[in-house]
Amino acid sequence: MRKEERLAKEITELLGGPSNIGALESCMTRLRVKPLDESKVDLAGIKKIDGVLGVVEAETIQIILGPGIVTKVATEVSELTGKSVSSVDEEEDFSFEGLAERTKADLKKKNATPFKLFLRKIASIFIPLIPAIVASGLIAGITNVIVRSGVNPESTLIEILNLIGWGLFGYLGVFVGINTAKEFGGSPALGGAAGILIINPGLANITLFGEDLVPGRGGLIGVMLAAVFIAFLEKRIRKVVPSALDIIITPTLSLLITGFATLVVLQPVGGFISDLITEGLLGLIDMGGFFAGLILAGTFLPLVVTGLHQGLTPVHMELINTIGNDPLLPILAMGGAGQVGAAFAIYFKTKNQRLRKVIKGGLPVGILGIGEPLIFGVTLPLGRPFITACLGAAVGGAFQAVFKTATIAIGVSGIPLAFLMEDGQILLYLAGVLIAYVFGFLFTWMFGFKDEMAKDI
Protein backbone atom coordinates (compact mmCIF):
# COMPACT_ATOMS: atom_id res chain seq x y z
CA MET A 1 0.00 0.00 0.00
CA ARG A 2 1.33 3.43 -0.96
CA LYS A 3 2.18 5.84 1.85
CA GLU A 4 -0.43 8.42 0.87
CA GLU A 5 -3.10 5.70 0.55
CA ARG A 6 -2.28 4.38 4.05
CA LEU A 7 -2.31 7.89 5.50
CA ALA A 8 -5.66 8.68 3.87
CA LYS A 9 -7.30 5.52 5.25
CA GLU A 10 -5.95 5.97 8.78
CA ILE A 11 -6.81 9.68 8.89
CA THR A 12 -10.32 9.11 7.52
CA GLU A 13 -10.98 6.37 10.05
CA LEU A 14 -9.85 8.50 13.01
CA LEU A 15 -11.88 11.46 11.74
CA GLY A 16 -14.97 9.37 12.35
CA GLY A 17 -15.24 7.66 8.98
CA PRO A 18 -16.11 8.94 5.48
CA SER A 19 -19.63 9.97 6.50
CA ASN A 20 -18.31 12.33 9.18
CA ILE A 21 -16.28 14.49 6.78
CA GLY A 22 -18.26 17.53 5.69
CA ALA A 23 -15.66 19.50 3.77
CA LEU A 24 -12.13 18.91 2.58
CA GLU A 25 -9.34 21.13 1.31
CA SER A 26 -5.56 21.27 1.23
CA CYS A 27 -2.95 24.01 1.28
CA MET A 28 0.83 23.80 0.96
CA THR A 29 1.37 21.63 4.03
CA ARG A 30 -2.02 21.02 5.68
CA LEU A 31 -5.05 18.84 5.06
CA ARG A 32 -8.01 20.87 6.33
CA VAL A 33 -11.15 18.98 7.32
CA LYS A 34 -14.54 20.06 8.67
CA PRO A 35 -16.07 17.12 10.57
CA LEU A 36 -19.83 16.98 10.95
CA ASP A 37 -19.57 15.59 14.49
CA GLU A 38 -16.42 16.58 16.32
CA SER A 39 -17.09 14.09 19.12
CA LYS A 40 -16.30 11.26 16.68
CA VAL A 41 -12.82 12.62 15.93
CA ASP A 42 -9.82 11.00 17.64
CA LEU A 43 -7.30 13.85 17.63
CA ALA A 44 -4.83 12.02 19.84
CA GLY A 45 -4.90 9.07 17.47
CA ILE A 46 -4.38 11.27 14.41
CA LYS A 47 -1.31 12.85 16.01
CA LYS A 48 0.23 9.39 16.46
CA ILE A 49 -0.18 8.33 12.81
CA ASP A 50 3.19 7.72 11.19
CA GLY A 51 3.57 10.55 8.68
CA VAL A 52 1.40 13.10 10.49
CA LEU A 53 3.63 15.96 11.63
CA GLY A 54 1.09 17.73 13.80
CA VAL A 55 -2.53 18.82 14.19
CA VAL A 56 -3.95 22.33 14.56
CA GLU A 57 -7.46 22.95 15.88
CA ALA A 58 -9.02 26.08 14.35
CA GLU A 59 -12.20 26.57 12.31
CA THR A 60 -11.15 23.32 10.68
CA ILE A 61 -9.04 20.42 11.85
CA GLN A 62 -5.71 21.03 10.13
CA ILE A 63 -3.49 17.95 9.76
CA ILE A 64 0.14 18.81 8.99
CA LEU A 65 1.55 16.41 6.38
CA GLY A 66 4.14 18.48 4.53
CA PRO A 67 4.37 19.85 0.99
CA GLY A 68 3.74 17.52 -1.91
CA ILE A 69 2.31 14.60 0.02
CA VAL A 70 -0.59 16.63 1.39
CA THR A 71 -2.07 17.02 -2.12
CA LYS A 72 -1.82 13.27 -2.76
CA VAL A 73 -3.39 12.42 0.60
CA ALA A 74 -6.20 14.93 -0.03
CA THR A 75 -6.93 13.19 -3.35
CA GLU A 76 -7.04 9.78 -1.63
CA VAL A 77 -9.35 11.08 1.12
CA SER A 78 -11.55 12.63 -1.57
CA GLU A 79 -11.89 9.23 -3.26
CA LEU A 80 -12.68 7.51 0.05
CA THR A 81 -15.32 10.03 1.09
CA GLY A 82 -16.76 11.12 -2.23
CA LYS A 83 -16.05 14.74 -1.26
CA SER A 84 -14.40 17.04 -3.75
CA VAL A 85 -11.37 18.81 -2.38
CA SER A 86 -12.36 22.37 -1.33
CA SER A 87 -16.08 21.80 -1.94
CA VAL A 88 -19.11 21.02 0.24
CA ASP A 89 -22.06 18.87 -0.79
CA GLU A 90 -25.12 21.14 -1.00
CA GLU A 91 -27.34 18.33 0.27
CA GLU A 92 -25.61 18.55 3.62
CA ASP A 93 -26.07 22.27 4.29
CA PHE A 94 -28.26 21.44 7.28
CA SER A 95 -25.30 19.79 8.97
CA PHE A 96 -23.21 22.90 8.61
CA GLU A 97 -25.70 25.05 10.47
CA GLY A 98 -24.78 23.14 13.60
CA LEU A 99 -21.14 23.17 12.57
CA ALA A 100 -21.18 26.96 12.25
CA GLU A 101 -22.56 27.32 15.77
CA ARG A 102 -19.91 24.96 17.17
CA THR A 103 -17.20 26.81 15.27
CA LYS A 104 -18.38 30.15 16.67
CA ALA A 105 -18.33 28.73 20.19
CA ASP A 106 -14.86 27.30 19.64
CA LEU A 107 -13.57 30.61 18.37
CA LYS A 108 -14.88 32.42 21.44
CA LYS A 109 -13.32 29.77 23.63
CA LYS A 110 -9.96 30.24 21.89
CA ASN A 111 -10.12 34.03 22.40
CA ALA A 112 -10.52 34.83 18.71
CA THR A 113 -10.26 38.61 18.81
CA PRO A 114 -11.68 40.72 15.96
CA PHE A 115 -8.12 41.48 14.85
CA LYS A 116 -7.29 37.76 14.65
CA LEU A 117 -10.47 37.08 12.71
CA PHE A 118 -9.62 39.92 10.35
CA LEU A 119 -6.12 38.56 9.72
CA ARG A 120 -7.56 35.07 9.19
CA LYS A 121 -9.90 36.52 6.58
CA ILE A 122 -6.99 38.19 4.79
CA ALA A 123 -4.96 34.96 5.00
CA SER A 124 -7.82 33.04 3.37
CA ILE A 125 -7.62 35.39 0.38
CA PHE A 126 -3.92 34.73 -0.23
CA ILE A 127 -3.48 31.06 0.74
CA PRO A 128 -4.88 29.76 -2.60
CA LEU A 129 -2.41 32.05 -4.43
CA ILE A 130 0.71 30.78 -2.67
CA PRO A 131 1.78 28.16 -5.28
CA ALA A 132 1.61 30.71 -8.10
CA ILE A 133 3.36 33.41 -6.03
CA VAL A 134 6.13 31.01 -5.01
CA ALA A 135 6.68 29.75 -8.57
CA SER A 136 6.61 33.22 -10.14
CA GLY A 137 8.83 34.72 -7.47
CA LEU A 138 11.43 31.98 -7.79
CA ILE A 139 11.53 32.20 -11.60
CA ALA A 140 11.83 35.99 -11.40
CA GLY A 141 14.60 35.68 -8.82
CA ILE A 142 16.59 33.11 -10.79
CA THR A 143 16.25 35.28 -13.90
CA ASN A 144 17.56 38.22 -11.90
CA VAL A 145 20.62 36.19 -10.84
CA ILE A 146 21.26 35.09 -14.44
CA VAL A 147 21.19 38.71 -15.62
CA ARG A 148 23.59 39.75 -12.86
CA SER A 149 25.98 37.03 -13.97
CA GLY A 150 26.47 38.86 -17.27
CA VAL A 151 23.76 37.54 -19.62
CA ASN A 152 22.28 40.16 -21.94
CA PRO A 153 19.01 41.35 -20.29
CA GLU A 154 17.51 42.00 -23.74
CA SER A 155 18.11 38.47 -25.03
CA THR A 156 15.10 36.41 -26.06
CA LEU A 157 15.62 33.87 -23.26
CA ILE A 158 15.64 36.55 -20.56
CA GLU A 159 12.60 38.26 -22.07
CA ILE A 160 10.71 34.94 -21.96
CA LEU A 161 11.79 34.23 -18.38
CA ASN A 162 10.75 37.73 -17.31
CA LEU A 163 7.38 37.20 -18.97
CA ILE A 164 6.86 33.97 -17.05
CA GLY A 165 8.24 35.18 -13.73
CA TRP A 166 6.80 38.69 -13.48
CA GLY A 167 3.49 38.08 -15.26
CA LEU A 168 1.55 37.08 -12.16
CA PHE A 169 2.61 40.15 -10.20
CA GLY A 170 1.33 42.41 -12.95
CA TYR A 171 -2.15 40.89 -12.69
CA LEU A 172 -2.16 39.82 -9.06
CA GLY A 173 -4.84 42.39 -8.32
CA VAL A 174 -7.31 40.43 -10.44
CA PHE A 175 -6.71 37.20 -8.51
CA VAL A 176 -6.89 39.02 -5.17
CA GLY A 177 -10.14 40.67 -6.23
CA ILE A 178 -11.63 37.31 -7.18
CA ASN A 179 -10.67 35.68 -3.87
CA THR A 180 -11.74 38.69 -1.81
CA ALA A 181 -15.21 38.79 -3.33
CA LYS A 182 -15.55 35.04 -2.83
CA GLU A 183 -14.46 35.35 0.82
CA PHE A 184 -17.02 38.10 1.48
CA GLY A 185 -19.91 36.39 -0.25
CA GLY A 186 -19.86 38.11 -3.63
CA SER A 187 -19.43 36.90 -7.22
CA PRO A 188 -15.74 36.09 -7.91
CA ALA A 189 -15.90 37.54 -11.44
CA LEU A 190 -17.15 40.88 -10.11
CA GLY A 191 -14.32 40.84 -7.57
CA GLY A 192 -11.87 40.39 -10.42
CA ALA A 193 -13.48 43.33 -12.25
CA ALA A 194 -13.06 45.43 -9.09
CA GLY A 195 -9.39 44.49 -9.04
CA ILE A 196 -8.99 45.64 -12.64
CA LEU A 197 -10.32 49.07 -11.63
CA ILE A 198 -7.20 49.57 -9.49
CA ILE A 199 -4.53 48.24 -11.87
CA ASN A 200 -5.97 49.28 -15.26
CA PRO A 201 -3.38 51.31 -17.25
CA GLY A 202 -6.30 53.39 -18.55
CA LEU A 203 -6.36 55.22 -15.21
CA ALA A 204 -3.40 57.27 -16.43
CA ASN A 205 -5.71 58.96 -18.96
CA ILE A 206 -8.17 60.19 -16.32
CA THR A 207 -7.98 63.40 -14.27
CA LEU A 208 -10.29 63.88 -11.29
CA PHE A 209 -10.50 67.00 -9.12
CA GLY A 210 -7.43 68.37 -10.84
CA GLU A 211 -5.27 65.31 -10.17
CA ASP A 212 -4.08 62.64 -12.57
CA LEU A 213 -5.05 59.13 -11.49
CA VAL A 214 -2.24 56.61 -11.10
CA PRO A 215 -2.60 52.93 -12.12
CA GLY A 216 -1.90 50.68 -9.16
CA ARG A 217 -2.36 53.41 -6.55
CA GLY A 218 -3.52 51.71 -3.34
CA GLY A 219 -2.11 48.37 -4.51
CA LEU A 220 -3.63 45.18 -3.15
CA ILE A 221 -5.16 47.06 -0.23
CA GLY A 222 -7.13 49.17 -2.68
CA VAL A 223 -8.09 46.02 -4.59
CA MET A 224 -9.42 44.37 -1.44
CA LEU A 225 -11.41 47.48 -0.50
CA ALA A 226 -12.99 47.59 -3.96
CA ALA A 227 -13.75 43.84 -3.95
CA VAL A 228 -15.30 43.96 -0.47
CA PHE A 229 -17.40 46.94 -1.55
CA ILE A 230 -18.68 45.26 -4.73
CA ALA A 231 -19.53 42.06 -2.80
CA PHE A 232 -21.44 44.11 -0.23
CA LEU A 233 -23.22 46.09 -2.94
CA GLU A 234 -24.10 43.03 -4.99
CA LYS A 235 -25.84 41.33 -2.06
CA ARG A 236 -27.81 44.47 -1.20
CA ILE A 237 -28.91 45.16 -4.79
CA ARG A 238 -29.95 41.54 -5.33
CA LYS A 239 -32.46 41.81 -2.47
CA VAL A 240 -34.51 44.46 -4.30
CA VAL A 241 -34.10 43.44 -7.94
CA PRO A 242 -36.73 41.08 -9.43
CA SER A 243 -35.36 37.58 -10.06
CA ALA A 244 -36.05 37.77 -13.79
CA LEU A 245 -33.81 40.84 -14.12
CA ASP A 246 -31.16 39.86 -11.58
CA ILE A 247 -28.56 38.55 -14.06
CA ILE A 248 -28.62 41.89 -15.92
CA ILE A 249 -29.36 44.57 -13.33
CA THR A 250 -27.41 43.34 -10.28
CA PRO A 251 -23.91 42.93 -11.77
CA THR A 252 -24.27 46.02 -13.98
CA LEU A 253 -25.28 48.32 -11.13
CA SER A 254 -22.73 46.75 -8.78
CA LEU A 255 -19.84 47.32 -11.18
CA LEU A 256 -20.95 50.79 -12.24
CA ILE A 257 -21.37 52.08 -8.68
CA THR A 258 -18.17 50.38 -7.53
CA GLY A 259 -16.28 51.91 -10.45
CA PHE A 260 -17.11 55.48 -9.45
CA ALA A 261 -16.75 54.73 -5.72
CA THR A 262 -13.31 53.23 -6.34
CA LEU A 263 -11.98 56.19 -8.31
CA VAL A 264 -13.39 58.81 -5.95
CA VAL A 265 -13.02 57.14 -2.54
CA LEU A 266 -11.68 53.60 -2.33
CA GLN A 267 -8.46 54.00 -4.31
CA PRO A 268 -7.41 57.18 -2.43
CA VAL A 269 -8.24 55.49 0.89
CA GLY A 270 -6.28 52.40 -0.16
CA GLY A 271 -3.36 54.63 -1.09
CA PHE A 272 -3.48 56.37 2.29
CA ILE A 273 -3.52 53.06 4.17
CA SER A 274 -0.74 51.73 1.98
CA ASP A 275 1.44 54.78 2.65
CA LEU A 276 0.72 54.56 6.37
CA ILE A 277 1.77 50.91 6.55
CA THR A 278 4.87 51.18 4.40
CA GLU A 279 6.15 54.41 5.95
CA GLY A 280 5.46 53.05 9.44
CA LEU A 281 7.34 49.81 8.80
CA LEU A 282 10.25 51.54 7.10
CA GLY A 283 10.48 54.03 9.96
CA LEU A 284 10.45 51.20 12.49
CA ILE A 285 13.20 49.27 10.70
CA ASP A 286 15.32 52.40 10.11
CA MET A 287 15.04 53.76 13.63
CA GLY A 288 14.88 50.45 15.48
CA GLY A 289 17.64 48.79 13.49
CA PHE A 290 19.05 45.91 15.51
CA PHE A 291 16.17 45.86 18.01
CA ALA A 292 13.48 46.13 15.34
CA GLY A 293 14.91 43.08 13.56
CA LEU A 294 15.22 41.26 16.87
CA ILE A 295 11.56 41.81 17.80
CA LEU A 296 10.04 41.30 14.34
CA ALA A 297 11.87 38.01 13.66
CA GLY A 298 11.55 36.75 17.24
CA THR A 299 7.78 37.16 17.32
CA PHE A 300 7.00 35.92 13.80
CA LEU A 301 6.74 32.19 14.51
CA PRO A 302 3.69 32.51 16.82
CA LEU A 303 1.93 34.18 13.89
CA VAL A 304 2.86 31.24 11.65
CA VAL A 305 1.35 28.85 14.21
CA THR A 306 -2.05 30.49 13.76
CA GLY A 307 -1.71 30.55 9.96
CA LEU A 308 -2.24 34.32 10.02
CA HIS A 309 1.17 35.13 8.52
CA GLN A 310 -0.32 34.93 5.01
CA GLY A 311 -2.27 38.06 5.94
CA LEU A 312 1.01 39.98 5.61
CA THR A 313 1.20 39.32 1.85
CA PRO A 314 -0.39 42.66 0.88
CA VAL A 315 2.08 44.43 3.19
CA HIS A 316 5.03 42.82 1.39
CA MET A 317 3.53 43.72 -1.98
CA GLU A 318 2.93 47.33 -0.94
CA LEU A 319 6.55 47.70 0.12
CA ILE A 320 7.69 46.43 -3.28
CA ASN A 321 5.21 48.63 -5.15
CA THR A 322 6.09 51.71 -3.11
CA ILE A 323 9.87 51.60 -2.69
CA GLY A 324 10.84 48.85 -5.14
CA ASN A 325 11.95 46.27 -2.56
CA ASP A 326 10.87 44.51 0.63
CA PRO A 327 13.13 44.86 3.72
CA LEU A 328 10.59 43.08 5.94
CA LEU A 329 10.64 39.65 4.27
CA PRO A 330 14.33 38.80 4.96
CA ILE A 331 13.81 39.66 8.64
CA LEU A 332 10.71 37.48 9.00
CA ALA A 333 12.37 34.69 7.00
CA MET A 334 14.71 34.16 9.94
CA GLY A 335 11.81 32.53 11.81
CA GLY A 336 12.13 29.42 9.66
CA ALA A 337 15.93 29.49 9.95
CA GLY A 338 15.72 29.49 13.75
CA GLN A 339 13.46 26.42 13.51
CA VAL A 340 16.01 24.61 11.38
CA GLY A 341 18.80 25.29 13.87
CA ALA A 342 16.65 24.10 16.77
CA ALA A 343 15.65 20.95 14.86
CA PHE A 344 19.29 20.08 14.16
CA ALA A 345 20.09 20.39 17.88
CA ILE A 346 17.20 18.10 18.83
CA TYR A 347 18.14 15.58 16.13
CA PHE A 348 21.70 15.23 17.42
CA LYS A 349 20.65 15.21 21.07
CA THR A 350 17.63 12.88 21.13
CA LYS A 351 17.55 9.08 21.14
CA ASN A 352 13.84 9.03 20.27
CA GLN A 353 13.76 7.39 16.83
CA ARG A 354 10.27 8.59 15.95
CA LEU A 355 11.26 12.17 16.71
CA ARG A 356 14.43 11.80 14.64
CA LYS A 357 12.34 10.47 11.76
CA VAL A 358 9.98 13.46 11.92
CA ILE A 359 12.94 15.86 11.98
CA LYS A 360 14.59 14.07 9.06
CA GLY A 361 11.41 14.53 7.04
CA GLY A 362 10.91 18.17 8.06
CA LEU A 363 14.46 19.50 7.71
CA PRO A 364 14.75 19.50 3.89
CA VAL A 365 11.52 21.47 3.42
CA GLY A 366 12.44 23.67 6.39
CA ILE A 367 15.72 24.61 4.73
CA LEU A 368 13.71 25.37 1.57
CA GLY A 369 11.45 27.75 3.49
CA ILE A 370 8.44 25.64 4.56
CA GLY A 371 8.66 25.66 8.35
CA GLU A 372 5.29 24.22 9.40
CA PRO A 373 6.36 20.54 9.52
CA LEU A 374 9.14 21.40 12.00
CA ILE A 375 6.91 23.75 13.99
CA PHE A 376 3.96 21.41 14.41
CA GLY A 377 5.87 18.15 14.35
CA VAL A 378 8.86 19.05 16.51
CA THR A 379 9.39 22.35 18.33
CA LEU A 380 5.83 23.32 19.28
CA PRO A 381 4.85 19.92 20.76
CA LEU A 382 8.09 19.92 22.77
CA GLY A 383 7.45 23.44 24.06
CA ARG A 384 10.77 24.92 25.07
CA PRO A 385 12.50 24.36 21.69
CA PHE A 386 9.85 26.57 20.09
CA ILE A 387 11.03 29.43 22.31
CA THR A 388 14.71 28.80 21.61
CA ALA A 389 13.92 28.66 17.88
CA CYS A 390 12.32 32.11 18.23
CA LEU A 391 15.44 33.36 20.01
CA GLY A 392 17.67 32.05 17.22
CA ALA A 393 15.37 33.71 14.68
CA ALA A 394 15.62 36.99 16.58
CA VAL A 395 19.41 37.07 16.26
CA GLY A 396 19.20 36.38 12.52
CA GLY A 397 16.52 39.05 12.12
CA ALA A 398 18.67 41.61 13.92
CA PHE A 399 21.51 40.86 11.47
CA GLN A 400 19.23 41.35 8.44
CA ALA A 401 17.92 44.64 9.84
CA VAL A 402 21.39 46.03 10.58
CA PHE A 403 22.63 45.26 7.05
CA LYS A 404 19.34 46.45 5.46
CA THR A 405 18.85 43.42 3.22
CA ALA A 406 15.75 43.45 1.00
CA THR A 407 14.05 41.36 -1.69
CA ILE A 408 12.83 42.40 -5.13
CA ALA A 409 9.79 40.08 -5.02
CA ILE A 410 8.00 37.79 -2.59
CA GLY A 411 8.41 34.03 -2.34
CA VAL A 412 9.22 31.29 0.14
CA SER A 413 11.85 31.99 2.78
CA GLY A 414 14.85 29.79 3.52
CA ILE A 415 17.64 29.28 1.00
CA PRO A 416 15.46 29.96 -2.11
CA LEU A 417 14.86 33.53 -0.95
CA ALA A 418 18.52 34.26 -1.77
CA PHE A 419 17.52 34.36 -5.46
CA LEU A 420 15.18 37.28 -4.73
CA MET A 421 17.67 39.46 -2.88
CA GLU A 422 18.74 42.91 -4.04
CA ASP A 423 21.94 43.15 -6.05
CA GLY A 424 24.99 42.38 -3.91
CA GLN A 425 22.99 41.10 -0.90
CA ILE A 426 22.82 37.36 -1.54
CA LEU A 427 25.82 36.53 0.66
CA LEU A 428 24.63 38.90 3.38
CA TYR A 429 21.24 37.21 3.45
CA LEU A 430 22.78 33.73 3.55
CA ALA A 431 25.08 34.87 6.38
CA GLY A 432 21.96 35.90 8.33
CA VAL A 433 20.39 32.50 7.65
CA LEU A 434 23.52 30.78 8.94
CA ILE A 435 23.52 32.98 12.06
CA ALA A 436 19.89 32.04 12.78
CA TYR A 437 20.78 28.35 12.27
CA VAL A 438 23.73 28.59 14.66
CA PHE A 439 21.94 30.49 17.43
CA GLY A 440 18.79 28.37 17.10
CA PHE A 441 21.05 25.33 17.50
CA LEU A 442 23.05 26.75 20.42
CA PHE A 443 20.06 28.02 22.41
CA THR A 444 18.26 24.69 21.96
CA TRP A 445 21.33 22.60 22.72
CA MET A 446 22.22 24.55 25.88
CA PHE A 447 18.85 24.96 27.55
CA GLY A 448 16.02 24.21 25.10
CA PHE A 449 15.84 20.42 25.03
CA LYS A 450 16.27 17.37 27.23
CA ASP A 451 15.59 13.89 25.91
CA GLU A 452 12.93 13.14 28.54
CA MET A 453 10.83 15.86 26.88
CA ALA A 454 10.45 13.55 23.85
CA LYS A 455 8.91 10.59 25.69
CA ASP A 456 5.37 11.49 24.63
CA ILE A 457 6.24 12.39 21.02
- If you ran DSSP here, which 8-state letter would residue 263 be given? I
Class (C level, CATH) for 3-111 = alpha beta
Q: What amino acid is encoded at 339 in this protein?
A: Q
pLDDT for the residue numbered 104: 41
**What pTM did the predictor assign?**
0.75
pLDDT for the residue numbered 92: 39
Tell me which residue of 327, 333, 334 sits closest to 287, measured CA to CA.
Answer: 327
* Residue 325 to residue 319: CA distance in whole angstroms: 6
Measure CA of the first residue to CA of the last residue in the chain; give whole Å.
Answer: 25
Indicate which residues carry an active-site annotation: 27
| Length of the chain, in residues | 457
pLDDT for the residue numbered 457: 62
- List the domain boundaries for the chain: 3-111, 171-274, 290-454
Instruction: Count the Cβ atoms, other than its own, within 10 Å of residue 97.
Output: 8
pLDDT for the residue numbered 101: 44
Q: Are 88 and 23 in contact (CB under 8 A)?
A: yes
**Which pLDDT tens digits describe the chain residue by residue (457 residues)?**
688 889 999 999 999 998 889 888 887 788 889 888 888 899 889 988 888 877 887 678 888 887 778 888 988 898 888 888 763 333 333 333 444 444 444 444 454 567 667 777 787 888 888 889 888 988 988 998 898 888 998 999 999 999 999 999 889 999 999 999 999 999 999 999 999 999 999 999 999 888 889 898 888 999 999 999 999 999 999 999 998 899 999 999 999 999 999 999 999 999 898 888 888 888 988 888 899 999 999 999 888 876 667 778 888 988 988 888 999 999 999 999 999 999 999 999 999 888 888 898 889 989 988 888 888 888 988 889 999 999 999 999 999 999 999 999 888 889 999 999 998 899 999 999 999 999 999 999 999 998 888 776 6
